Amino acid sequence: MLKQIVVWNAAELEHFVSIFDKTATERGLTTKNIDSKDCLIAIGYGDVASLVSIVTDNAPLSTKDTGFVFRRTNQDTYRTHLIATILNKQAPTYVDEANLLSDKTADKMTLGVLLPLSGILVPKSILLTHHSYQVNQQFLANHLTFPCVIKKTGSKGKQVWKVNNLVELEEKLTTDDKLTLIQEYIENDYDLRVFVMDGKVVAAVKRSSADGFYNNLSQGGSGESTEISDEERNICIEAAKIAKLRLAGVDLVRSPRGPMVFEVNKAPQMDIFSPFIDFDLEQAYSEVVLEDLMRDSK
């Protein structure tokens, strides 16, 4: 029988933790938060030579009567991927399939390739490093248009820039030789953040800003609840499925070429979007997670 829920890497998710703890308590469950950075993985140190266990606070983590919840974050992703893979074999877990496959499954670069391969419309894009930029400058000179958008690994609108010419582009590329995503700039008055939970669209928020670029609410943009078309709904559900995310924030823009996905967020900041809709996203998510774990534990 399920008695306890362990939530991983939720230290910065204060609103979610408070809502989840309250919802779990109402169901007779206790909760505990663990950071993956405080854990080590031990192999062959138990009664069985092949036993794989998670060690925290100097002791193996018990899975008896315990369920585990993994919120997709950008922190300690590889170790979280390994821990999720281990616990998914040993106990009830609520986890994105992306966490079980690879820590890179749902990142910007991977989805920049997977979405168009699956027929989803995305901005024209180029993935490159500073070195491959130098080797292929003629191709880029022939095909790049300005302004364009530069994206490196990051979240909440950070590590994202609009550049207006080659000089600005080269400045961003020369900071390191990591894989970088260049996307065409889609002019817009607003974009959409669509929340998908377990294959269903539960909310959509229209985001806008003075400059038409940094529409992220964490970057000062404004929001309001909105409706989306059946076509847009199906696109967002499919995008979350491709990203293998049970919880996803799909960023969509209405372009002259049709609805276009420019990002799928694995940690979609439900707390800052809830004020713009008529229910608490964190509460809805908590109920979905707990129902799933309690069903799996029977």
Digit-coded pLDDT (tens) for 114-158: 899 899 999 999 888 888 888 888 888 888 889 999 988 755 556
Tell me 183's DSSP state: E
Task: Tell me what the pLDDT averaged over the chain comes to.
Answer: 88
Better-scored residue on pLDDT, 218 or 66:
66
**Are the C-beta atoms of 265 and 106 separated by less than 8 Å?**
no
The reported pLDDT for the residue numbered 156 is: 54
The reported pLDDT for the residue numbered 235 is: 98
Residue 199 — pLDDT band, cuts 50, 70, 90?
very high
Q: Under CATH, which architecture does the 4-103+283-297 domain have?
A: 3-Layer(aba) Sandwich (3.40)
**Are the C-beta atoms of 235 and 211 separated by less than 8 Å?**
no
Is residue 84 scored above 70 in pLDDT? yes
Task: Provide the residue type at 118 as one letter.
Answer: S
Is residue 38 scored above 80 in pLDDT? yes
Is residue 101 scored above 60 in pLDDT? yes
Is residue 213 scored above 90 in pLDDT? no
Taking the CA atoms of the chain, what radius of gyration do you get in angstroms?
Answer: 21
Is residue 162 scored above 80 in pLDDT? yes
Average confidence (pLDDT) over 274-296? 92
Alpha helices in the chain (DSSP H): 14-26, 77-88, 97-101, 108-117, 130-135, 137-143, 166-173, 230-243, 270-273, 281-297
The reported pLDDT for the residue numbered 81 is: 87
This prediction's pTM = 0.82
Task: List the beta bridge partners of residue 33.
Answer: 7
Three-state DSSP at 76 gives coil
Q: Is 182 exposed, middle or buried (0-12, 13-18, 19+ CB in 10 A)?
A: buried
The reported pLDDT for the residue numbered 45 is: 75
Question: Residue 18's CB: how many other CB atoms inside 10 A?
Answer: 13
Among 19-28, 110-119, 283-292, the least confident range: 110-119
Average confidence (pLDDT) over 42-70? 84
Among 9, 145, 149, 32, residue whose Cα is nearest residue 79: 9
The superfamily CATH assigns to domain 191-265 is: ATP-grasp fold, B domain (3.30.470.20)
What share of the chain has pLDDT > 90, as a percent?
A: 52
Domain definitions of the chain by residue range? 4-103+283-297, 124-184, 191-265
Is residue 28 scored above 90 in pLDDT? yes
Among 244, 238, 236, residue whose Cα is nearest residue 205: 236
**Are the C-beta atoms of 158 and 149 separated by less than 8 Å?**
no
Q: 124-184 has which CATH code?
A: 3.30.1490.20
Tell me 274's DSSP state: G
The reported pLDDT for the residue numbered 65 is: 96
Distance CA 228, CA 216 (A): 19
Phi, psi dihedral angles at 14 (to 5 degrees):
-60, -45
What are the CA-CA distances from residue 159 to residues 67, 111, 120 (Å)? 35, 17, 24
Q: Do domains 4-103+283-297 and 191-265 have the same CATH topology?
A: no
**Are the C-beta atoms of 48 and 41 separated by less than 8 Å?**
no
Distance CA 236, CA 200 (A): 9
Three-state DSSP at 142 gives helix
Among 288, 234, 236, residue whose Cα is nearest residue 264: 236
Is residue 298 scored above 80 in pLDDT? no
